[in-house]
């Protein structure tokens, strides 16, 4: 890859920035007029020709302005990656919102999704913190009516699942509480395998509940990620890319289906660590439907204990300058929150 001169570099970044704002191909004249450059349009044209030659820009048709290629965006992103910071005031507003809201994972997730969508004007995705090494922490059994029992199962790492069981026969709350207490002593801190290896209990009720607990933990452990939260689908509806092209419309369909989303997060994330941040441009990573889109994603949480992913999807010309620092900042915040809440167990 040939080197870029300093001038080419500024020109390229300027042009991409302008295109991201205007969504219009950028010509030499526009560049000179809007950014009072001390050069003539002809010189700019020469440079743009060079940049086109190198693969950073392209022309939609012979006589239109230039538009960034994927390569161009990649360069643009790499340039701002380490430098972009969220204004302190925005940071404050965001963190304020988190610490104001009730301390509840579900709320945090919705809030994160909403903030990301709002700041980036794209579609946000957040997965709840999740661990593949699920360990038992606590169970509660609450009788509701007759044979119906509400079971609340808490895992080490903070995941909570509730389920209504129907028992073979009515059981008093007292007996349920005793069962819960026994099981809590017995199972504290055990992983799936250890629980499965336990000898059968004499007490039939104990054994029934135990089986259910086991099934529930297994179910949780099998999932590749926690519950998925998303927001801002409608943000993107007003973008010209999506309004026109049938192509891009399909990308949205993808986001309507939870299962596809889960897949996407699972596929894109394994090669990334907590703290890292990835920018996938133009459907990098083999997503045909997302060829016109970009994603900014990051992992958050406490490695080995509970981690989740969060990110933003938008048109390829999304505002990286805004999105990247936001994703990074929110990921950091969530990591802290998760850490405060569940670490040390």
The residues binding DNA (CB under 7 A) are 25, 27-30, 38-43, 45-46, 48-49, 52, 59, 61-66
The alpha carbon of 170 is separated from its chain's Cα centroid by a whole number of angstroms, namely 44
| Residue 164 site contact among DNA, a second copy, none (CB < 5 to 8 Å, cut-off depends on kind) | a second copy
How open is the CA angle 339-344-345, to the nearest 5 degrees?
A: 110
345 near a second copy (CB under 8 A): yes
Length of the chain, please? Answer: 345
* Cβ 70 vs Cβ 60: under 8 Å: no
Shortest spacing between CB 44 and a second copy, in angstroms: 36
* Cβ proximity to a second copy, 180 vs 324, nearer residue: 180
Shortest spacing between CB 234 and DNA, in angstroms: 26
Alpha helices (runs of H) in 101-191, residue ranges in sequence order? 105-120, 173-187
E strands of the chain, at which residues? 57-58, 67-68, 123-127, 135-145, 148-156, 160-166, 228-231, 277-281, 293-302, 306-315
Shortest spacing between CB 79 and DNA, in angstroms: 22
* Cβ proximity to a second copy, 39 vs 233, nearer residue: 233
Listed residue (294, 238, 261) closest to 69, CA to CA:
294
DSSP 312: E
Dihedral of CA atoms 327, 329, 335, 338 in degrees, nearest 10, equals -90
* Cβ proximity to DNA, 38 vs 271, nearer residue: 38
The Cα–Cα gap between 251 and 255 comes to: 7
Considering only residues 39-98, where is the footprint of a second copy by CB under 8 A? none
175 near a second copy (CB under 8 A): no
The structure tokens 């016109």 sit at 292
Considering only residues 104-163, where is the footprint of a second copy by CB under 8 A? 104, 137-138, 140, 142, 144-146, 148, 150, 152, 154, 158, 160, 162-163
Give the number of other Cβ atoms within 10 Å of residue 170's Cβ: 12
* Cβ proximity to a second copy, 146 vs 304, nearer residue: 146
* Cβ proximity to DNA, 37 vs 192, nearer residue: 37
| Residue 102 site contact among DNA, a second copy, none (CB < 5 to 8 Å, cut-off depends on kind) | a second copy
Where do contacts with a second copy occur on this chain (CB under 8 A)? 102-104, 137-138, 140, 142, 144-146, 148, 150, 152, 154, 158, 160, 162-166, 177, 181, 231-235, 237-238, 249, 252-253, 255-256, 340-345
């Amino acid at each position: 890859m040939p080197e870029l001169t300093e001038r080419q570099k500024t020109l390229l970044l300027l042009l991409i920035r302008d295109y991201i704002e205007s969504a219009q191909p950028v010509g030499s004249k526009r560049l000179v007029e809007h950014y009072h450059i001390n050069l003539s349009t002809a010189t700019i044209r020469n440079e743009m020709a060079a940049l086109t030659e190198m693969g950073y820009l392209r022309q939609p048709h012979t006589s239109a302005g230039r538009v960034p290629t994927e390569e161009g965006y990649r360069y643009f992103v790499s340039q701002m990656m380490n430098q972009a910071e969220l204004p302190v005031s925005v940071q404050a507003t965001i963190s304020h919102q988190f610490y104001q809201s009730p301390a509840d994972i579900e709320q945090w997730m919705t809030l994160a999704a909403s903030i990301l969508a709002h700041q980036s004007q794209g579609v946000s995705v957040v997965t709840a913190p999740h661990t593949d090494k699920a360990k038992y922490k606590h169970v509660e059994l609450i009788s509701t009516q007759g044979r119906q029992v509400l079971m609340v199962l808490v895992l080490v790492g903070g995941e909570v699942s509730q389920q209504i069981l129907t028992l073979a026969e009515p059981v008093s709350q007292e007996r349920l509480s005793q069962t819960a207490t026994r099981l809590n002593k017995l199972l504290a801190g055990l992983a799936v395998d250890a629980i499965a290896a336990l000898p059968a209990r004499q007490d039939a009720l104990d054994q029934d509940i135990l089986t259910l607990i086991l099934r529930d933990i297994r179910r949780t452990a099998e999932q590749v990620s926690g519950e998925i939260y998303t927001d801002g689908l409608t943000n993107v509806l007003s973008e010209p890319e999506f309004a026109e092209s049938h192509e891009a419309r399909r990308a949205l369909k993808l986001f309507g289906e939870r299962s596809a989303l889960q897949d996407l997060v699972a596929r894109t994330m394994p090669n990334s660590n907590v703290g890292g941040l990835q920018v996938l441009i133009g459907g990098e990573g083999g997503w045909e439907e997302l060829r016109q889109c970009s994603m900014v994603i990051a992992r958050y949480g406490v490695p080995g204990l509970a981690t989740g992913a969060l990110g933003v999807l938008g048109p390829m010309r999304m505002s990286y300058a805004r999105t990247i620092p936001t994703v990074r900042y929110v990921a950091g915040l969530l990591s802290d929150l998760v850490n405060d809440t569940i670490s040390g167990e």
